[in-house]
Structure 1
Amino acid sequence: MHGFETSVPTYRAILHDERVFTDPAEYRPERYLKDGQLDLDVRQPEVSAFGFGRRICPGRYLSDNTLFSIVSSTLHAFTITPSLDNKGDPISLSTKRTSGVISYPEPFKVDIKPRSSSAEILVKEAVVGDDWA
């Protein structure tokens, strides 16, 4: 072959390696913990998102910090609970995911409510500015 070759790792094989993960298809986030702390000896899931070696994504820290900021701000401002069925009981949340190149959770119903009136004002100002009233 002339020119260059692009090395494309098989992420599925990397992240479903039974020598590393027992029951790799099973959702078990506790596999990354040891004595309540992150177990750095276990292959980390960031490999699938950011790559590895010389070609690892240089923006990985920016994206991690941005995601942390978004999630923590959302949890600070809102109470998120499962929606209720006709009887008033919480609807069980599904852990099913789509399949394909990009996998994401299947639709589910939750109730999202501001934790307080000040949290509601803060969010409205952040979304539409000071002129929302």
Structure 2
Amino acid sequence: MTYDPNDYAEPERFNPDRFIKNGRLNPDVRGPSTLVFGFGRRVCPGRWFSSASLFITIASILHTMNIQPVPREDGIPFDPHNVEMDGIIMNSDKVPCTVTPRSKTSEHLIREAIVSQ
């Protein structure tokens, strides 16, 4: 359903800007969450918890880590937009990158969180 060109122009192309208009969310474009969590009587009861958990996880990683692409062997920066795998669920192939803490404080927070689990 998310590949319908009537809903999303160029549905095969990764383009998060399609959801933005004048710096704000575009209300004329249907959000993918209206489909991925089901609808009607079969809607996922944990959809809000799932979205909030994913948001806080991604925000925490971006806040505490530097994520940099690893250049290819020929020195050209790796372009992750050209790496996709088709299947029942579309995902990306492995994208080589380095992940390092932004600061000693970030590293301490990360190590503390790992130990407390």
Gaps of 5+ in 2: none
Distance 1:78-1:36 versus aligned 2 partners, 3 A rule: same
* 1:105 aligned residue: 92
Gaps of 5+ in 1: 1-13
- In the TM superposition, what whole-angstrom CA distance separates every residue of 1:76-132 from its partner, at most 9, and x where no partner exists? 111111124567x56313222211112211111111111111111110111023xxx
How big is the shift at 1:40? 2.0
What is the RMSD computed on CA atoms of the aligned residues?
Answer: 1.8
Q: Give, in whole Å, the separation in 1 of the partners of 2:76 and 2:109.
A: 28
Instruction: Give the SS at the match of 2:80.
Output: coil
Give every structure 1 segment of 4 or more consecutive aligned residues whose post-TM-superposition deviation is greater than 3 Å: 84-87
Distance 1:86-1:24 versus aligned 2 partners, 3 A rule: closer
Q: Give, in whole Å, the separation in 1 of the partners of 2:36 and 2:24.
A: 22
Instruction: Give the SS at the match of 1:119.
Output: helix
* 2:77 aligned residue: 91
Q: Give, in whole Å, the separation in 2 of the partners of 1:107 and 1:117.
A: 28
Matches within 5 A, 1:49-88: 49-85=36-72
Identity %: 34
Alignment TM-score, normalising by the size of structure 2? 0.85
1:39 aligned to 2:22?
no
Contact 1:16/1:25 (<8 A) preserved: yes
Count of aligned positions: 115
Q: Which has the higher contact order (CA 8 A, sep 6+)?
A: 2
Contact 2:71/2:78 (<8 A) preserved: no
